[in-house]
Structure 1
Amino acid sequence: MDNFLIIGQPRSGTTYLQTLLNAHAQLHCRGELFDPWQIDDNGTKTAGLDAVIARDRDPVGFMERMLAGEGMHVGGRMLGAKVLFQHHPALFAQFVPQRPTLKLIYVYRENKLAQFASGRQVAKTGQWTATNAAPVAPKIEAAPFWTASECNRLVNEDFLLRAWLKTLDNPMLMVSYAGLFAPDFRQRVQDFLGVTPQPDLASPLVKQGQNRIIDRFENPEILARYFNETGRGQWLDAELPTTV
């Protein structure tokens, strides 16, 4: 059976893609199985030290069993999972390189200020995803030097992910956060995975944060000055077309 992995960072669009793929009758992404705090099997969460230790004692074997359909009715679907930067290193060092036929979808968010702000906002609300139009997300206050440091970390993590991906022979599809909403993306990802096209494919998730990124902050003036004067002013503006 073919399998796929969604690769990326938190708040880069990987959960949106997971829910989009799970709307297809021939696909099932099991989600963030290697969440450091729990096993998140597409929303079914198994927490507790014993469960996490059992998983992390044999991460390669655990992922192999889950992608083979352990604990679920496969029903002929292609199975996948999410692998994020902070997940178990054996996935990057062993599991993926040893499986060159594994299909990889790399999701990255070009606007790192948006990615940082999204993480801070959901940490404030405790609502990591939303399926209904929610009240305006709370604004956050973030010191410019700390914000810059976190954005730099996100840029550097993406750099390292890309460098690692270049060492692999796996079939690969790369897509930006904004590209997830492009008119042709649904067709592209279905073609890549080799499934029958399903034209009505849609995710139930809705965007939570303000689209104009600087509007997410309580101290916009100082942040705008910093990012404008250091050559990253494009991060302050709207991330997606207003029609999305």
Structure 2
Amino acid sequence: MKRFVILGLPRSGTTYLMSLLNAHPDVICAGEHFNPYAVIDDKEDDSHAAVLGRDKDPVGHMHRFFENAAARGAFSGGFKFMIGHNLKVLQELAADPELSIIYVWRENRLAQVSSLIKAFQSKKWAQTKADAHIQRKIVATPRQISHRWHEYATFDHLIALWLAGLPNPKVTYEYCDLFKPGFEELICGFLEVKHHRRMKSALVKQGSNAIEDRFEDPRPIRYYFNQIGLGSWLETEI
């Protein structure tokens, strides 16, 4: 079985990719197995026993996940791993050159951070049905956004440098790449499984594609990003 990990920051497209891969009959892609608050697989287990058992032996937990995925008949199996989840697992990725890494990042930091703020405020991290929440406007200040986007840009820069030095099979996709024609064929080729026509994510987008339209009062945000030369982030992302 080909083993893989989806690596990325929040609101970069990792959940969309996970749902897309899970639509393939030969792939098992779990959620955030090393989320600090819960073991997230098909279901979320936030019990003390589950979290403690994982954290006592994180590398063993990862290997057991892959063993179970192989036992379930997967040709390719993996899970999401976000920055900040578990350092020992990150170190194990670098020590295991046969483990494949899919790294996802997002160029439009304003879109990324606005999505993060909305998710924090609503506690809706993903959804499969459209509702009033999708059109709900975000209340945020330029300074609040600036703090987050610089932080995420720095993380992505350091991750890219770290990945460049690894011998692991790896591929990097920017958020918009996930929605381009032919992407499903590309990711299937990387995971060494045949493309399947059923590959489609059930998730719906949780905000306007025109990023400026996401905010209750876009005027100070528009001024700030135009002043620092990033006015294009206010426009349509995909």
Question: Shorter-chain-normalised TM-score: which range?
Answer: over 0.9
Matched, 1:91 2:117: no
Contact 1:134 1:208 in 2 (8 A): no
Query: What TM-score do the two structures reach when normalised by structure 1?
Result: 0.93
1:80 partner letter:
G
The unaligned stretches of length 5 or more in structure 1 are none
Q: Deviation at 1:151?
A: 0.7
Matched, 1:104 2:101: yes
Query: What TM-score do the two structures reach when normalised by structure 2?
Result: 0.95
RMSD: 1.5
Q: Deviation at 1:20?
A: 0.4
Matched, 1:34 2:43: no
Residue equivalent to 1:58: 57
- Residues 133-164 of structure 1, C-alpha deviation per residue, up to 9 Å, x if partnerless? 22233212212112111110011111111111
Q: Deviation at 1:10?
A: 1.0
Paired residue for 1:134, among 131, 134, 137? 131
User: For residues 127 and 137 of structure 1, what CA distance do their matches in structure 2 show?
Assistant: 13
1:62 partner letter:
H
Residue equivalent to 1:67: 66
User: For residues 180 and 38 of structure 2, what CA distance do their matches in structure 1 show?
Assistant: 33
Contact 2:28 2:74 in 1 (8 A): no
Residue equivalent to 1:228: 226
1:97 partner letter:
A
SS of alignment partner, residue 105 of structure 1: strand
Contact 2:36 2:85 in 1 (8 A): yes
2:3 partner letter:
N
Identity of aligned residues (%): 39
User: For residues 180 and 200 of structure 2, what CA distance do their matches in structure 1 show?
Assistant: 13
1:87 partner letter:
H
Size of the aligned set, in residue pairs, is: 237
Contact 2:101 2:169 in 1 (8 A): yes
User: For residues 135 and 86 of structure 2, what CA distance do their matches in structure 1 show?
Assistant: 31
User: Following superposition of structure 1 onto structure 2, how do residues 107-126 of structure 1 map, counting pairs within 5 Å?
Assistant: 107-126=104-123
Contact 1:97 1:168 in 2 (8 A): yes
Residue equivalent to 1:49: 48
2:46 partner letter:
A
SS of alignment partner, residue 173 of structure 2: strand
Distance 1:150 1:120, change over 3 A: same
Instruction: Tell me which protein shows more helix as a share of its residues.
Output: 2
Q: Deviation at 1:48?
A: 2.7
User: For residues 141 and 194 of structure 2, what CA distance do their matches in structure 1 show?
Assistant: 48
1:47 partner letter:
D
Matched, 1:150 2:141: no
User: For residues 138 and 195 of structure 2, what CA distance do their matches in structure 1 show?
Assistant: 41
User: For residues 182 and 114 of structure 2, what CA distance do their matches in structure 1 show?
Assistant: 28
Q: Deviation at 1:85?
A: 0.8
Structure 1, 231-240 or 72-81: larger mean CA deviation:
72-81
Matched, 1:175 2:173: yes
SS of alignment partner, residue 69 of structure 1: helix
User: For residues 86 and 64 of structure 2, what CA distance do their matches in structure 1 show?
Assistant: 16
1:56 partner letter:
D
Distance 1:221 1:170, change over 3 A: same
User: For residues 87 and 127 of structure 1, what CA distance do their matches in structure 2 show?
Assistant: 20
Q: Deviation at 1:115?
A: 0.8
SS of alignment partner, residue 30 of structure 1: strand
User: For residues 227 and 169 of structure 2, what CA distance do their matches in structure 1 show?
Assistant: 40
Structure 1, 188-197 or 133-142: larger mean CA deviation:
133-142
